Amino acid sequence: MSYTVTLIPGDGIGPEVAEATRRVLEATRLSFRWEVAEAGLAVMEKEGTPLPNSALESIRRNKVALKGPVTTPVGGGFRSVNVALRQALDLYACLRPCKTYPGVRTLYPQVDLVIVRENTEDLYSGIEFESGTKEAVQLQSLIAEATGQCIASDSAIGIKSISATASRRIVKFAFDYARAQGRRKVTAVHKANIMKASDGLFLRSAQEVAKDYPDVAFEDMLVDNMSMHLVQRPEDYDVLVLPNLYGDIISDLAAGLVGGLGLAPGANIGDDAAVFEPTHGSAPRYAGQNKVNPTAMILSGVMMLRHLGESKAAQMVETALAQVIAEGKDVTYDLKLRRDDPTAVGTSQMADAVIQHLRR
Ligand code: NAD
């Protein structure tokens, strides 16, 4: 069987971890035809857009993509390629498993969490108004009229929208995933005590959907409380389902529990396409140094193999990678006891070690 996959190397450390992953996936002896598509800073300079239509078309055609991270300028500059991609392809579910592998330095040896993050709305939809613009002033008057509350006149305004449709859809995804994977519990995470309308709607939608899954336990928790509980007793949790922004933040927290961003894979899944990418970003200060950990991207490749129905190959890669991590020899700096350990290997050498294990 041969698979045509859109490959977006991204920028910063993206091309290095993407290349490492491509080589590991090819070592499974499955056949891949990689349709390379550019996105991010470099293509912005060439084509005037960081997300050319050709990249979107390629994913629409192939229905599956492996993607490296892409830089998003802070403050000004272009909008996030990642947000645009998820919205354009309606990749509504962001799936981020966080599992501790033996050999990783962490205070939490038994974490096995899955974060399910809503990917299309919330404060992340990018509906924002700069302070002093005509639109910001209009909104201020509208809000004053509707609520009697005054927003400071020099405010920038961001819109948080949460719909019942998207909330139900993501919670259903979380329960279906939990059921399919034999998971025991889904926790809906929110701040409905304060954001009664928006987070309240998310919570009510979750409670409604949960009634259809009596075989999976359900609970809800405030996001601040969740943060503390995750740091104290992460093993008490299983599948977490969250609106977009909380999902983004809690994903990094969970990555920290299992050893850092170098170990946290992810997938953005919709009804018509899926894009597999690590949780981490483009870490520009490490770009081009053959230094960072390829594990998160390789594990994203493992998720892609499972999505393609290649569970045997997926298990082989995960086992080989887990062996390399457990041996602790051919691993990158972040997996060594000390970050300045001179025996740490580079991105590409760690991938070589995984490939050698696959060939044993
Ligand atoms: P980052 O995840 O790029 O890096 C933060 C730190 O995490 C790094 O300095 C490094 O210490 C560590 N790290 C990240 N990946 C690692 C790896 N593979 N191995 C070892 N250590 C690793 O976060 P940032 O610096 O906040 O963001 C940089 C850029 O990436 C920003 O422009 C941001 O918008 C973008 N970003 C993109 C995506 C994406 O493309 N999906 C996701 C997150 C951030």
Structure tokens that stand for 284 in this block: 């520009």
Do 315 and 356 belong to one domain? Answer: yes
Q: Alpha-carbon distance 222 to 210, whole Å?
A: 17
Coil vs helix vs strand at 240: strand
Do 218 and 112 belong to one domain? Answer: yes
Confidence check: pLDDT of 198 > 80: yes
Could you say which of 11, 122, 199, 248 is catalytic? 248
Closest Cα partner for 166 from 223, 256, 262, 93?
93
* DSSP secondary structure code for residue 120 in this structure: S
Residue of minimum CA distance from atom 39 in ligand 1: 69
Do 141 and 224 belong to one domain? Answer: no
214 CA from centroid of ligand 1 (Å): 39
Residue 341's Cβ-count burial label (10 Å; 0-12, 13-18, 19+) is exposed
Structure tokens that stand for 104 in this block: 């990783």
Q: Is 20 in the pocket of ligand 1 (CB under 6 A)?
A: no
Q: Alpha-carbon distance 305 to 122, whole Å?
A: 30
Q: Alpha-carbon distance 336 to 358, whole Å?
A: 22
pLDDT band at 83 (very low <50, low <70, confident <90, very high): confident
Q: Alpha-carbon distance 216 to 204, whole Å?
A: 17
Q: Alpha-carbon distance 26 to 3, whole Å?
A: 11
pLDDT value of position 360: 86
pLDDT value of position 76: 64
Read off the pLDDT of each residue in 176-181 and give the average, rounded to a whole number.
96
Q: What are the residues facing 5 on neighbouring strands?
A: 34
User: What are residue 79's phi and psi, to 5 degrees?
Assistant: -70, 160
* DSSP secondary structure code for residue 216 in this structure: S
Q: What is the CATH number of the domain that holds 33?
A: 3.40.718.10
Residue 102 included in any domain: no
Identify which has the larger pLDDT, 263 or 47.
263
pLDDT value of position 203: 98
Do 173 and 239 belong to one domain? Answer: yes
Do 218 and 292 belong to one domain? Answer: no
Phi-psi region of 24 (alpha: psi -120 to 50; beta: other; left: phi over 0): alpha
Is 124 catalytic? The answer is yes
User: What are residue 267's phi and psi, to 5 degrees?
Assistant: -145, 145
Closest Cα partner for 44 from 7, 81, 12?
81
Q: What burial letters (b/e) apply to 239-265, b meaning 16+ CB within 10 Å?
A: bbbbbbbbbbebbbebbbbbbbbbbbb
Residue recorded with tokens 């490296």: 68
Read off the pLDDT of each residue in 73-94 and give the average, rounded to a whole number.
85
Residue 352 included in any domain: yes
Q: Is 296 in the pocket of ligand 1 (CB under 6 A)?
A: yes
Model confidence, pTM = 0.94
39 CA from centroid of ligand 1 (Å): 16
The residue from 257, 280, 295 where one domain ends is: 257
Residue 45 included in any domain: yes
Q: Is 283 in the pocket of ligand 1 (CB under 6 A)?
A: yes
Residue 168 included in any domain: yes
Read off the pLDDT of each residue in 152-168 and give the average, rounded to a whole number.
96
44 CA from centroid of ligand 1 (Å): 19
pLDDT value of position 72: 85
Structure tokens that stand for 304 in this block: 């892609």
Do 225 and 326 belong to one domain? Answer: no
pLDDT value of position 46: 85
Q: Alpha-carbon distance 61 to 72, whole Å?
A: 26
Q: What is the CATH number of the domain that holds 226?
A: 3.40.50.2300
Whether the Cβ atoms of residue 216 and residue 185 lie closer than 8 Å to each other? yes
* DSSP secondary structure code for residue 243 in this structure: -
Q: How many domains are there within the chain?
A: 3
pLDDT tens string 5-26: 999 999 999 999 999 999 999 9
Do 147 and 172 belong to one domain? Answer: no
Structure tokens that stand for 10 in this block: 């991204």
Is 272 catalytic? The answer is no
Closest Cα partner for 294 from 330, 262, 321?
262
275 CA from centroid of ligand 1 (Å): 18
Whether the Cβ atoms of residue 264 and residue 276 lie closer than 8 Å to each other? no
Q: Alpha-carbon distance 290 to 42, whole Å?
A: 19
Give the DSSP H/E element, type plus range, for residue 190. Answer: strand 185-190
pLDDT tens string 212-260: 999 999 999 999 999 999 999 999 999 999 999 999 999 999 999 999 9
261 CA from centroid of ligand 1 (Å): 8
Residue 131 domain boundaries: 127-159
Q: Is 302 in the pocket of ligand 1 (CB under 6 A)?
A: no
Residue of minimum CA distance from atom 6 in ligand 1: 283
Confidence check: pLDDT of 75 > 70: no
pLDDT tens string 287-326: 999 999 999 999 999 999 999 999 999 999 999 999 999 9
Whether the Cβ atoms of residue 252 and residue 96 lie closer than 8 Å to each other? no
Is 329 catalytic? The answer is no
Do 141 and 165 belong to one domain? Answer: no
Confidence check: pLDDT of 70 > 90: yes
Read off the pLDDT of each residue in 101-122 and give the average, rounded to a whole number.
95
Do 82 and 172 belong to one domain? Answer: no
Is 248 catalytic? The answer is yes
pLDDT band at 41 (very low <50, low <70, confident <90, very high): confident
Q: Alpha-carbon distance 155 to 56, whole Å?
A: 35
Do 234 and 293 belong to one domain? Answer: no
Do 287 and 239 belong to one domain? Answer: no
pLDDT value of position 1: 78
Do 249 and 133 belong to one domain? Answer: no
Q: Alpha-carbon distance 61 to 4, whole Å?
A: 9
pLDDT tens string 269-281: 999 999 999 999 9
